Amino acid sequence: MKLIILGSGTCVPSLKRNAPGYLIEVEDLKILVDCGSGTLLQLQKAGRSYRDIEVVFITHCHPYHISDLMPLIHALIATPEYKRKKPLRIVGSSLVGEYLDGCIMELLKRPDSFRIDFSRIEGKMEFHPLTLYSAKTLHSEDSFAFRFEYNGHSIVFTGDADYSEAIIELSTGADLLVADCSYPYELKRKGHLTPTECGIVASKAGVKHLILSHLYPTNYSDKEILEECKREFNGRISVAEDLMEISLI
Ligand SMILES: [Zn+2]
Ligand SMILES: [Zn+2]
Protein backbone atom coordinates (compact mmCIF):
# COMPACT_ATOMS: atom_id res chain seq x y z
CA MET A 1 0.00 0.00 0.00
CA LYS A 2 1.43 3.35 -1.04
CA LEU A 3 0.43 6.93 -0.19
CA ILE A 4 1.34 9.83 -2.47
CA ILE A 5 0.73 13.31 -1.15
CA LEU A 6 -0.59 15.38 -4.04
CA GLY A 7 -1.40 18.48 -2.04
CA SER A 8 -0.20 19.31 1.46
CA GLY A 9 -1.68 22.81 1.47
CA THR A 10 -4.96 24.62 1.86
CA CYS A 11 -7.23 27.19 0.20
CA VAL A 12 -4.42 29.78 0.27
CA PRO A 13 -2.53 29.72 -3.05
CA SER A 14 1.02 28.49 -2.62
CA LEU A 15 3.72 27.38 -5.05
CA LYS A 16 5.02 25.03 -2.37
CA ARG A 17 1.81 23.36 -1.28
CA ASN A 18 -1.12 22.49 -3.51
CA ALA A 19 -4.69 22.27 -2.17
CA PRO A 20 -5.56 18.95 -0.47
CA GLY A 21 -5.38 15.69 -2.40
CA TYR A 22 -3.93 12.25 -1.62
CA LEU A 23 -3.51 9.17 -3.77
CA ILE A 24 -3.55 5.66 -2.29
CA GLU A 25 -2.39 2.72 -4.40
CA VAL A 26 -3.12 -0.76 -3.17
CA GLU A 27 -2.93 -3.83 -5.42
CA ASP A 28 -4.71 -2.63 -8.60
CA LEU A 29 -6.88 -0.06 -6.84
CA LYS A 30 -6.12 3.65 -7.03
CA ILE A 31 -8.17 6.04 -4.93
CA LEU A 32 -8.15 9.74 -4.16
CA VAL A 33 -8.79 11.19 -0.74
CA ASP A 34 -10.01 14.71 -1.43
CA CYS A 35 -9.69 16.28 -4.83
CA GLY A 36 -8.79 19.92 -4.26
CA SER A 37 -7.92 22.51 -6.86
CA GLY A 38 -4.91 21.41 -8.90
CA THR A 39 -5.16 17.72 -7.95
CA LEU A 40 -5.34 16.62 -11.61
CA LEU A 41 -2.09 18.39 -12.44
CA GLN A 42 -0.44 17.04 -9.30
CA LEU A 43 -1.40 13.53 -10.41
CA GLN A 44 0.38 14.18 -13.72
CA LYS A 45 3.43 15.47 -11.87
CA ALA A 46 3.44 12.28 -9.78
CA GLY A 47 3.50 10.27 -13.01
CA ARG A 48 -0.01 8.93 -12.45
CA SER A 49 -3.09 9.13 -14.61
CA TYR A 50 -6.52 10.51 -13.77
CA ARG A 51 -7.89 7.62 -15.88
CA ASP A 52 -6.84 5.07 -13.25
CA ILE A 53 -8.80 6.57 -10.36
CA GLU A 54 -11.65 4.30 -9.29
CA VAL A 55 -12.92 5.91 -6.10
CA VAL A 56 -12.82 9.49 -4.83
CA PHE A 57 -13.39 9.98 -1.11
CA ILE A 58 -14.26 13.51 -0.04
CA THR A 59 -13.67 14.46 3.60
CA HIS A 60 -16.02 17.47 3.42
CA CYS A 61 -17.42 20.01 1.04
CA HIS A 62 -15.20 23.04 1.58
CA PRO A 63 -14.52 24.10 -2.00
CA TYR A 64 -10.75 23.60 -2.07
CA HIS A 65 -11.19 19.94 -0.97
CA ILE A 66 -13.59 19.08 -3.78
CA SER A 67 -13.03 21.60 -6.56
CA ASP A 68 -11.13 19.30 -8.97
CA LEU A 69 -13.88 16.69 -8.90
CA MET A 70 -15.72 18.41 -11.73
CA PRO A 71 -12.55 18.73 -13.91
CA LEU A 72 -11.77 15.05 -13.17
CA ILE A 73 -15.18 13.92 -14.42
CA HIS A 74 -14.98 16.32 -17.34
CA ALA A 75 -11.57 14.95 -18.36
CA LEU A 76 -12.89 11.37 -18.15
CA ILE A 77 -15.74 12.30 -20.45
CA ALA A 78 -13.90 14.53 -22.90
CA THR A 79 -10.46 12.96 -23.52
CA PRO A 80 -10.16 12.24 -27.26
CA GLU A 81 -9.77 8.58 -28.26
CA TYR A 82 -10.52 7.46 -24.71
CA LYS A 83 -13.71 5.82 -23.54
CA ARG A 84 -13.91 5.01 -19.89
CA LYS A 85 -15.77 1.83 -19.13
CA LYS A 86 -15.33 1.25 -15.40
CA PRO A 87 -17.59 3.15 -13.02
CA LEU A 88 -16.28 6.09 -11.01
CA ARG A 89 -17.31 5.92 -7.38
CA ILE A 90 -17.63 9.00 -5.23
CA VAL A 91 -17.92 8.69 -1.47
CA GLY A 92 -18.77 11.45 0.97
CA SER A 93 -21.47 13.15 2.99
CA SER A 94 -24.97 13.72 1.60
CA LEU A 95 -23.80 17.25 0.76
CA VAL A 96 -21.24 15.77 -1.64
CA GLY A 97 -24.08 13.84 -3.28
CA GLU A 98 -26.12 17.02 -3.61
CA TYR A 99 -23.17 18.86 -5.14
CA LEU A 100 -22.59 16.01 -7.58
CA ASP A 101 -26.21 15.85 -8.74
CA GLY A 102 -27.16 19.50 -8.42
CA CYS A 103 -24.03 21.12 -9.80
CA ILE A 104 -21.53 18.82 -11.53
CA MET A 105 -24.07 16.67 -13.35
CA GLU A 106 -26.13 19.70 -14.24
CA LEU A 107 -23.16 21.25 -16.01
CA LEU A 108 -21.58 18.16 -17.55
CA LYS A 109 -24.52 15.80 -18.07
CA ARG A 110 -24.21 12.09 -17.31
CA PRO A 111 -21.53 10.30 -19.35
CA ASP A 112 -22.69 7.65 -21.85
CA SER A 113 -19.86 5.15 -21.52
CA PHE A 114 -19.46 4.81 -17.71
CA ARG A 115 -21.47 5.10 -14.51
CA ILE A 116 -20.86 7.58 -11.73
CA ASP A 117 -21.96 6.00 -8.47
CA PHE A 118 -22.31 8.02 -5.30
CA SER A 119 -22.20 6.39 -1.87
CA ARG A 120 -22.98 8.24 1.29
CA ILE A 121 -20.36 7.71 3.95
CA GLU A 122 -21.19 5.08 6.58
CA GLY A 123 -19.30 3.85 9.64
CA LYS A 124 -17.70 0.86 7.86
CA MET A 125 -17.54 0.28 4.10
CA GLU A 126 -15.76 -2.19 1.82
CA PHE A 127 -13.83 -1.12 -1.25
CA HIS A 128 -12.01 -4.30 -2.07
CA PRO A 129 -9.22 -4.76 -1.01
CA LEU A 130 -9.62 -1.77 1.34
CA THR A 131 -11.91 -1.42 4.32
CA LEU A 132 -12.93 2.08 5.29
CA TYR A 133 -13.89 3.28 8.75
CA SER A 134 -14.95 6.86 9.35
CA ALA A 135 -15.67 9.27 12.16
CA LYS A 136 -17.35 12.65 12.29
CA THR A 137 -14.91 15.48 13.04
CA LEU A 138 -15.30 18.85 14.72
CA HIS A 139 -14.97 21.17 11.75
CA SER A 140 -18.06 21.58 9.57
CA GLU A 141 -21.49 20.01 9.42
CA ASP A 142 -20.34 17.36 6.96
CA SER A 143 -16.68 16.76 7.90
CA PHE A 144 -15.33 13.23 8.30
CA ALA A 145 -12.05 11.49 9.13
CA PHE A 146 -11.20 8.29 7.26
CA ARG A 147 -9.29 5.15 8.21
CA PHE A 148 -8.29 2.76 5.42
CA GLU A 149 -7.20 -0.76 6.31
CA TYR A 150 -5.49 -3.32 4.13
CA ASN A 151 -4.00 -6.63 5.27
CA GLY A 152 -3.36 -5.40 8.80
CA HIS A 153 -1.99 -2.01 7.68
CA SER A 154 -3.78 1.28 8.18
CA ILE A 155 -3.74 4.92 7.08
CA VAL A 156 -5.86 7.55 8.81
CA PHE A 157 -6.74 10.98 7.44
CA THR A 158 -8.17 13.41 9.95
CA GLY A 159 -9.57 15.54 7.13
CA ASP A 160 -10.20 19.00 8.55
CA ALA A 161 -10.63 18.50 12.26
CA ASP A 162 -10.34 20.04 15.66
CA TYR A 163 -9.17 17.99 18.64
CA SER A 164 -11.59 15.23 19.67
CA GLU A 165 -11.68 11.79 21.25
CA ALA A 166 -13.28 10.50 18.04
CA ILE A 167 -10.10 11.14 16.03
CA ILE A 168 -7.95 9.51 18.67
CA GLU A 169 -10.18 6.45 18.65
CA LEU A 170 -10.19 6.23 14.85
CA SER A 171 -6.38 6.59 14.77
CA THR A 172 -5.62 3.96 17.39
CA GLY A 173 -2.59 1.90 16.38
CA ALA A 174 -2.50 3.32 12.83
CA ASP A 175 0.66 2.90 10.76
CA LEU A 176 0.21 6.38 9.27
CA LEU A 177 -1.76 9.35 10.53
CA VAL A 178 -2.12 12.21 8.04
CA ALA A 179 -3.26 15.10 10.19
CA ASP A 180 -4.73 18.53 9.67
CA CYS A 181 -1.93 20.75 11.00
CA SER A 182 -3.27 24.09 9.89
CA TYR A 183 -1.61 26.59 12.23
CA PRO A 184 1.04 26.64 14.91
CA TYR A 185 -0.20 26.89 18.50
CA GLU A 186 0.06 30.70 18.62
CA LEU A 187 -2.29 31.06 15.62
CA LYS A 188 -4.79 28.36 16.67
CA ARG A 189 -8.25 28.64 15.09
CA LYS A 190 -11.30 26.64 16.01
CA GLY A 191 -11.97 23.70 13.69
CA HIS A 192 -8.32 22.83 12.98
CA LEU A 193 -5.44 21.14 14.79
CA THR A 194 -2.10 22.63 15.80
CA PRO A 195 1.21 20.71 15.74
CA THR A 196 0.87 20.34 19.53
CA GLU A 197 -2.60 18.83 19.19
CA CYS A 198 -1.51 16.58 16.32
CA GLY A 199 1.26 15.32 18.62
CA ILE A 200 -1.18 14.65 21.47
CA VAL A 201 -3.56 12.76 19.14
CA ALA A 202 -0.69 10.67 17.72
CA SER A 203 0.68 9.94 21.16
CA LYS A 204 -2.66 8.94 22.70
CA ALA A 205 -3.55 6.85 19.65
CA GLY A 206 -0.12 5.19 19.54
CA VAL A 207 0.39 5.75 15.81
CA LYS A 208 3.67 4.70 14.18
CA HIS A 209 4.19 7.62 11.82
CA LEU A 210 2.59 11.06 11.99
CA ILE A 211 2.43 13.21 8.87
CA LEU A 212 1.65 16.89 9.40
CA SER A 213 -0.31 18.17 6.42
CA HIS A 214 -2.96 20.76 5.45
CA LEU A 215 -0.40 23.44 6.28
CA TYR A 216 -1.32 27.10 5.86
CA PRO A 217 1.51 29.39 4.76
CA THR A 218 2.69 31.26 7.86
CA ASN A 219 5.94 32.79 9.03
CA TYR A 220 6.71 29.60 10.92
CA SER A 221 9.19 27.24 9.28
CA ASP A 222 8.67 23.50 8.80
CA LYS A 223 11.39 23.01 11.41
CA GLU A 224 9.48 25.07 13.98
CA ILE A 225 6.27 23.13 13.23
CA LEU A 226 8.17 19.87 13.69
CA GLU A 227 9.78 21.05 16.95
CA GLU A 228 6.40 22.05 18.37
CA CYS A 229 4.94 18.63 17.55
CA LYS A 230 7.96 16.73 18.93
CA ARG A 231 7.23 18.01 22.43
CA GLU A 232 4.08 15.87 22.49
CA PHE A 233 4.98 12.86 20.34
CA ASN A 234 8.21 10.94 20.34
CA GLY A 235 7.39 8.66 17.37
CA ARG A 236 8.26 9.33 13.75
CA ILE A 237 6.99 12.70 12.43
CA SER A 238 7.16 14.09 8.89
CA VAL A 239 6.11 17.49 7.61
CA ALA A 240 4.19 16.70 4.43
CA GLU A 241 5.53 17.84 1.07
CA ASP A 242 3.79 17.69 -2.27
CA LEU A 243 4.64 14.53 -4.23
CA MET A 244 6.07 12.80 -1.17
CA GLU A 245 5.60 9.02 -1.39
CA ILE A 246 5.28 6.71 1.59
CA SER A 247 5.19 2.95 1.16
CA LEU A 248 3.63 0.85 3.89
CA ILE A 249 4.35 -2.54 2.41
ZN1 LIG B 1 -12.59 22.69 5.80
ZN1 LIG C 1 -9.30 22.30 4.66
Predicted TM-score (pTM) of the model is 0.97
- Among the four given CATH numbers 2.20.25.10, 3.60.15.10, 3.40.350.10, 3.40.50.300, the one describing domain 2-247: 3.60.15.10
Mean pLDDT of 209-223: 97
User: At 5, is the pLDDT very low, low, confident or very high (cuts 50, 70, 90)?
Assistant: very high
How many angstroms separate the Cα of 19 from the Cα of each of 109, 165, 175?
Answer: 26, 27, 24
Contact 212, 226 (CB under 8 A): yes
Output the CA 178–ligand 1 centroid distance in Å: 15
Beta bridge partners of 2: 25, 247
Spatial distance between the Cα atoms of 144 and 167, rounded to a whole number of angstroms = 10
Q: What is the DSSP string of 5-40?
A: EEE---SS--SS-PSSEEEEEETTEEEEEEE-TTHH
Output the CA 65–ligand 2 centroid distance in Å: 6
Angle between helices 195-205 and 222-230 (to 10 degrees): 40
pLDDT digits (tens, 9 = 90+) for 20-33: 999 999 999 999 99
Mean pLDDT of 36-58: 98
Output the CA 216–ligand 2 centroid distance in Å: 9
Output the CA 143–ligand 2 centroid distance in Å: 10
What is the rounded radius of gyration, in angstroms, for the C-alpha atoms of the chain?
Answer: 17
pLDDT for position 119: 98
Output the CA 191–ligand 1 centroid distance in Å: 8
Output the CA 33–ligand 1 centroid distance in Å: 14
pLDDT for position 109: 84
Spatial distance between the Cα atoms of 103 and 65, rounded to a whole number of angstroms = 16
User: At 183, is the pLDDT very low, low, confident or very high (cuts 50, 70, 90)?
Assistant: very high
pLDDT digits (tens, 9 = 90+) for 111-159: 999 999 999 999 999 999 999 999 999 999 999 999 999 999 999 999 9
Mean pLDDT of 218-231: 96
Output the CA 104–ligand 2 centroid distance in Å: 21
Output the CA 61–ligand 1 centroid distance in Å: 7
User: At 188, is the pLDDT very low, low, confident or very high (cuts 50, 70, 90)?
Assistant: very high
Output the CA 112–ligand 1 centroid distance in Å: 33
Output the CA 26–ligand 1 centroid distance in Å: 27
Mean pLDDT of 47-71: 98
How many percent of the chain have pLDDT more than 90? 98
How many percent of the chain have pLDDT more than 70? 100
Task: Reply yes or no on whether the pLDDT at 249 is more than 90.
Answer: no
Output the CA 160–ligand 1 centroid distance in Å: 5
Residue spans of the domains in the chain: they are 2-247
